[in-house]
Each structure stands twice: as structure tokens, then as C-alpha cells.
Structure 1
């Protein structure tokens, strides 16, 4: 385990002890050798990703169930991640009502909401707009597709430009102060003991939502390979739908080469690495990003741990 991650977990657990939220015997800071043994056990017995099957959204999951290297397990039924909820069926909204959500956070920018529609939620539940910048990607994508011009589309998205755009977006999760404020507010709400179950989402539930989920799981001392696995799983859940989108664009004549969209539709390790590398450059570690970048104090991190891990 890297020393920055050990420092993060040790600081969180120490502060939890200070405010009396965790039993002292439960959390001795692990040695590197102890972590290696526990990490090996994690990789041998993979955690199950808990998808919530809906007709109008394909990437809806309960973030609970993952084990932590401290020996705990993330509680189920408290935090959910998803793609946009504007196409839910009546049966879907009934299923969502069964989650008992207290809050839905929408990371989409206004242009995305205007194009895809507002969330369809159970009666009495409204989404909270908390836009995280996409650096103009959605508008660029609509311009490229709307042009119907294969040469222009290649110029805008080909030659590695789409991949570079994605890496820039991920770096902005770290460098953009407005983005940091949105993630920080959401983490504070999750930590709030008076806040009921919470769901957050963006359009595809993979980039802004993926970074938010990676942060949350990492702050809860979920092993790095597990947190990365949750992030990368969007490719599995979205594969069929995204292939249908590409096929539809080709059949309609709007794109001769819809595979130009694949780098934008997928999550990739190097996208996540772009964010974490920026995080380490700017703040030294995940702990620095959470405390200095997001402004979360140790008490909040301890409350997050106490609420989310059993």
C-alpha cells in the first residue's frame, strides 16, 4: 500500500477515535506487510458489483458491499451511482422509489439536461443540480455529429483528439475549483448522519460519477484495485447500449465512422490516471486532495467512515 494511502486511512481512523465514533481495537494502522497479505485475499475473492437493473438506465449500482483493508465492509443501501434518469419507465420509478432515496444529485451541465431531459423520479423527490464541467465536450460532440461531415468529424475526434479531450476533463476534476466544490459538497452530504440514502449521476454515469465513486471508495479505505474495478465496470454495463448508439448513427447516415465515439463512450485506466497524477502533482496525495483540495476536515472524513463502513 502506498504511504499516502496509509496516511489517509490512519488520519481518518485516528480522528474517528478522537470523536468516539469507532472502537479503538478495530483499527490499528496496518504495516505494509500486513496490507500485502490482506490485499492478496481481496484479489483472490473479488467483490461483487451490485447493479440495479432498470429499463431506462443501464449503469445504476449500489456502491455498498465492497470490503476495506481495515476489515470492514461498505454498507449497502446508502449511496448509489447511475447514469441519467430522464428515460425511466413507470416500472423503473417504482423500483427507484424502493431505494428510499433522500437525495438525487445531478452532475450534468444545463446543456445536457436540456438535450436529454430532466430526471424522472418518484413523487416527492427532485434532483439537485450540481453541474461539473465537461470542458465543452457535450457541445463539441453535438456539433461533430450534427455536421454529418465525416471529414469534420475526423478532424474533431480522430487522431487521438478524443482521448486527449477525456484526459483534460479528468485533470479538471482536480484543477477546477468549481468542480472540487461540487464533489466536496456531495461527500459532506454522504457523511451527514441525518442524510438518507443518496444517488448521484451524470449523463453516462462513468466519468464525473466514476471519479466521485473512486474518491468515495478510496476515502473509505477500499483497496485501490477494487476502487479502480468499480470505475472500469462502466464499460461492461454500457457496452451494449453504446454499441446500439453507434449503429444507429451509422444507419442514419450521420456518421460514417461512429467508432470515433468509442474513446468518449468508454472509461479507461489512463483517464483515471490523468486525474490521480494531477492530484498528486497539486496536492501530494489523495489525502491532500480531500483535505486541501476539497476542504474536508478530519471530523468529516471520520463521520464518512463511521456512517459508510460496518
Structure 2
């Protein structure tokens, strides 16, 4: 077991993004038809004649995508989610070519949800004209080293991510951060990007809140959450292989659950929200302290 604990915390923080810029990363493959069809099932909004283009696939930022999905956008009871408004991502460290592509999306603001430690390991590169806002989500903004030392089995790893999602509901610091983030979403003009390191946990909960505000059904939200495993599958596999090659099969098996997502991770947060607040609306207004006007402003950006 001693070999397992020598894995650097930075490796586990970066997860599937470890090899970006290392010369080993490859272009993200096109989505399989089954996954692509999942994103294209929303019906057109009443009276809509134009739909924004799909978010580009970025080889160097493989989990960059539109919160609204693809095609006509995810369906809601009052229309489809607007594309080109909110983007989610893993660490925003694009190649020159991908940076140029990002420059065509009208991005006004990039919210970095990571800790100081993560940012020091891989700083953002912003498209021209975009403002960077540091919005750390996790309590204390501290090193993860002690947390990693507590993981001894794959189930420990899974439970760590379940507990992280619960903390988005129970943690005072975390709730305060999400309140500031959603308030900024409501008050900021232009396309907005939010991201953490792998674009799956802090970013996943943020996307869950946005899609819930929009009125997207819960199964579609969960399916969207799980798309990280498809978008980042090559880099996840390479990271697991790297751990196996440098630290052994036991370490790779223990830490593999941290690299992707499982439904139980997000569901743990949803179950905690239901237990503590009953509904997403109550969580937003009572738990985060948001005004009804702020929530309505976010919804108006999402579904118009």
C-alpha cells in the first residue's frame, strides 16, 4: 500500500487532464451515434427559427461543452435550453488552435472553480476579451494531500466524490461560493464559461443547478452528467494507464473511480439536497440565499 500513497496529489487533481500538453494527448474522437442521439432528442422551441451552432470539440480541452447540449438544446416544459450562453469545461488550457476557436464564441467571462493549488499546476489561457474570475468552490481552498491519504480502496475513492457532492449542499463555504457564482451568471452579459480541473464534480454540480433551473428533466440531467465519461474517455484511459505504469495495478484500481463520474456521485448530492431542502428551488433560495429575481434572471438566460 505504500506505493499507492506516493502518487502526487496534483496527478489526482488533474485527473483526466493530466496529459494535456504532455505530447501524449490526442484529438478527442467524435461522439458515438448513441451518445450523439442522446443530445439531439430535444424538440424545437415554439416559434424558433434559428438554433445556435453546437459547441466545438476541442482536442486540448476535451470536456468543453455547452450546458444546453447539442442540436436544438435540451427540452424543457417551456422551450429548449438556449445554446451558446453557458459553457462547462475542464481546465481551460487550450492549444493555440483551440484558443482561436474559443475566441469565436463571444466569451465574456471565465469562472475558475479550482483551488490555488490546482491553478498553480495549470493556469488558464483566456480568449481575447474574456475576464477571468476566481471562484473557488471547495471549503478552505486547501491542499488535497491529506484527503488523498485517506483513500485505500476503490470504494473509498467513490465515497470521497459522493461526499464532495454532499458538501455542495451542507458546506457553508460551498453554498456561499455557488451563491456568488449564480449571482454572477445572472448579472453578467455575454457567453460565460465555468470550469474546475476535470470539469466533472464542481462543474457537474453547477451544470445540475443550471439545468434544474431551466426545467430539464432529471434523467436528462443525469445523462448529461455522465457524458464526461465519453468526452474524456481517452484522457481518462491514459491517466489510469500512467498510474498503472508508474505505481502499479493496485494504485490504478484504487484511483480509477476518481477519473470519471458515476451516477452515485451526483445522486449523493441530489439526495442530500432533497433531505435538507426538499426541492432545488428551496436550496437556491433558502440554502444559497438567492432572491427569486436572481433565479428568474438565470432562467431567462437559459430559456427565452
Shorter-normalised TM range: 0.7 to 0.9
Would the aligned equivalents of 2:285 and 2:291 in 1 still touch at CA under 8 Å? Answer: yes
Name the structure 2 match of 1:175: 170
Would the aligned equivalents of 1:66 and 1:222 in 2 still touch at CA under 8 Å? Answer: no
Let me know the Cα RMSD of the aligned residues: 2.6
* TM-score normalised according to structure 2 size: 0.76
Aligned-partner SS, 1:160: helix
Would the aligned equivalents of 1:51 and 1:61 in 2 still touch at CA under 8 Å? Answer: yes
Alpha-carbon distance, 1:217 to partner: 0.3
Q: 1:77 to 1:206 in 2, by over 3 A?
A: same
Q: How many residues align?
A: 254
Aligned-partner SS, 2:80: coil
Q: 1:120 to 1:278 in 2, by over 3 A?
A: same
- What is the distance in 2 between the residues matched to 1:94 and 1:44? 25
- What is the distance in 1 between the residues matched to 2:125 and 2:117? 17
Moved over 6 A (4+): 134-137
Name the structure 2 match of 1:9: none
Once the two structures are superposed, residues 206-262 of structure 1 have per-residue CA deviations (whole angstroms, 9 ceiling, x without a partner) of 0000010011000111111111111111111111111101112222x2333312222
- What is the distance in 1 between the residues matched to 2:154 and 2:179? 35
Which of 199, 215, 219 is the equivalent residue of 2:193?
A: 199
- What is the distance in 1 between the residues matched to 2:283 and 2:137? 17
- What is the distance in 2 between the residues matched to 1:215 and 1:237? 21
Name the structure 2 match of 1:166: 161
- What is the distance in 2 between the residues matched to 1:73 and 1:83? 25
* TM-score normalised according to structure 1 size: 0.75
- What is the distance in 1 between the residues matched to 2:199 and 2:303? 23
- What is the distance in 2 between the residues matched to 1:159 and 1:94? 39
Matches within 5 A, 1:63-102: 63-64=67-68, 65-86=72-93, 88-102=94-108
Alpha-carbon distance, 1:53 to partner: 1.3
Larger Rg: 1
Would the aligned equivalents of 1:102 and 1:125 in 2 still touch at CA under 8 Å? Answer: yes
Q: 1:50 to 1:227 in 2, by over 3 A?
A: farther
Would the aligned equivalents of 2:40 and 2:73 in 1 still touch at CA under 8 Å? Answer: no
Q: Which stretches in structure 2 are left out of the alignment for 5+ residues? A: 1-37, 44-52
Would the aligned equivalents of 2:90 and 2:195 in 1 still touch at CA under 8 Å? Answer: yes
Would the aligned equivalents of 2:139 and 2:171 in 1 still touch at CA under 8 Å? Answer: no
- What is the distance in 1 between the residues matched to 2:128 and 2:299? 31
Name the structure 2 match of 1:120: 125
Aligned-partner SS, 2:194: strand
Q: Which stretches in structure 1 are left out of the alignment for 5+ residues? A: 1-42, 145-154
